[in-house]
Amino acid sequence: MHHRAVHRSPLAAASWRKSSYSQGEGADCVELARVPAALGIRDSKDPEGPALILNPLAARALAEQIKLSN
């Protein structure tokens, strides 16, 4: 009998939360999830769609760029 390894995304069991900047059911909602040594980001309207997985350095750089753009 052959066994196949199953690779699960670190986001599969993640606990997602909507950004505090998202308002209600608006068009610009994102959700965040902390996973081991990373941060997941996805569109709240498409939870089964693609998600970004950023390491801590990239997550900080993204946050800084967002702050600068406001």
Segment 22-60, tens digit of pLDDT: 666 656 788 999 988 899 999 888 888 899 999 999 999
**pLDDT value for 36:** 86
Domain with 22 in it: 17-69
**pLDDT value for 64:** 94
**pLDDT value for 2:** 54
Alpha-carbon span 19 to 52, nearest angstrom? 15
Residue 33, in any domain of the structure: yes
Return the higher-pLDDT residue of 57 and 20.
Answer: 57
Residue 10, in any domain of the structure: no
Residue 35, in any domain of the structure: yes
The tally of domains found in the chain comes to 1
Residue 11, in any domain of the structure: no
pLDDT at 18 over 60: yes
Closest CA to 12 of 33, 38, 29: 33
